[in-house]
Amino acid sequence: MVFSSPLFIFLYLPLTLVGYYVVPALTAGRRRRITYAWRGVWLFAVNLVFYAWGEPLYVFLMLASITFNYVLGLSIEKSSGKRGKKLLLIVCIAANMGALGYFKYAGLFLTTLGFPAMQLTLPIGISFYTFQAMSYPIDVYRGKVPAQRNYVKFGTFVSLFPQLIAGPIVRYTEVAKQLDSRGHSVSKFSDGAVRFTLGLSKKVLLANNVGAMWSWYSTQPADNISALGAWLGIAAFTLQIYFDFSGYSDMAIGLGKMIGFEFPENFNYPYIADSVTEFWRRWHITLSKWFRDYVYIPLGGNRKGGARLALNLLIVWCLTGFWHGASWNFLLWGLYYAILLFAEKTFLLNALGKLPKFVGHIYTLALVMLGWTLFAIEDFAALGGYLPAMFGAGAAIDGAALYWLRNYAVTFIIAAAACTPLPSLIAVKLGGKVPPLLKICAKPAAILSALCLCTASLINSAYNPFLYFRF
């Protein structure tokens, strides 16, 4: 895919950055603040080129989304009465969700009802940029932000290439001031380059490697999979999806820093959580907050009793499940988490609080891995075979499982450690003992080495999926 292709790393990205810093910023306004007028035009243009690289036709769909939400934000602000504002808000939600539903879910519902499938290609990142664009008129309606009158600035917000196709989901309120003025420095650019390379390494060196194991297990008949093999396979997917998605988020945040933007964090070591509730505070943070602020709290949250709490969680998690993909297994995955979170909010969290922390970690990781099984296997027949295999329906151990375990043990250990703050803590501790001159040289050398390793891996390997591009 684009972000992890050598062509992007060594051609498109350098040209984009060079162009961004060559284009002069214009100084204007009574307060003498820097307005990035021409840089904004440049960014908007390269954003569209970036998206058109993968979606030459659907770039017009994204432009239609930008234009619609831009006009709607202005219309909501100008509307004088509450009734008119509310009507425009309903139009906003209906149109945005209608477009998303048509392109993403129409085929699923038609085939489920027995009609011929629609031959529509899913636009890359439509779930991300639709939620991002839709949050803007909602926040204008709520009075949290004034409407943006500059079309290029709003278009740049929706289409920012670093996080356009797989997040993090950035709200207009978080970057409104940065669209007018943002800080640039050598240290900020350097931090961004380091973060980008770290994300690329997580994706290419870790996610792709462990993903190869899951790729093999996901194609095997259930009769051929032992209990050990089934758990190894889903453990591989558990690591793959984390390094794949958090790696992309790191690349997006890093690239944002390189052009002066500060994007919200999207992951905070989710696999060290000691409850499912905590896991969802640490995993895909921007999506969880989006559903919390725009769906869960407006529905009443947990303030209206147990029955209403159950209903609100059911609605939020059905939507969350379907947001992830046009397949019924995602709805099942959402229902699974609605039940778990309701149980934790009503009684389980209190019970877990009385137990040693390691019990909570084991409980959470086991339930999350079961959840990833529902998430990863879209075919219900295959799912119905894989789940029993995990719990001993077949052999306990087989030769294939021992082969994968023997050959991937070191990779698993490295990946498991990288899911925790341990590498950062070790780096900080060792950093205090390294001579200053060596420290100055070591960091660039390490980053350059990692970039070379990633490039070599990308050139030599045909296996390079980005799991969240389909969402």
Contacts of range 125-128, beta carbons closer than 8 Å, 24 or more positions apart: 125/51, 125/164, 125/165, 125/166, 125/469, 125/471, 126/58, 126/61, 126/100, 127/100, 127/323, 127/324, 127/471, 128/163, 128/164, 128/165, 128/166, 128/167, 128/169, 128/471
**Which single residue is written with the structure tokens 């379907």?**
322
Q: Which residues on adjacent β-strands are paired with residue 27?
A: 34
Q: Check if the beta carbon of residue 156 is closer than 8 Å to that of residue 215.
A: no
- Output the six-digit token pair for 197: 């390379």
- What whole-number distance in Å separates Cα of residue 197 and Cα of residue 393? 43
- Hey, is 220 helix, strand or coil? coil
**Token output for 167:** 């997040």
Hey, which residues are catalytic here?
324
In 19-168, beta strands by DSSP E: 26-27, 34-35
Beta carbons of 120 and 107 less than 8 angstroms apart: yes
- Partners of 420 in the beta sheet? none
Class of residue 224 by CB neighbours under 10 A (exposed 0-12, middle 13-18, buried 19+): middle
By the 10 Å C-beta count (0-12 exposed, 13-18 middle, 19+ buried), 67 is classed as: middle
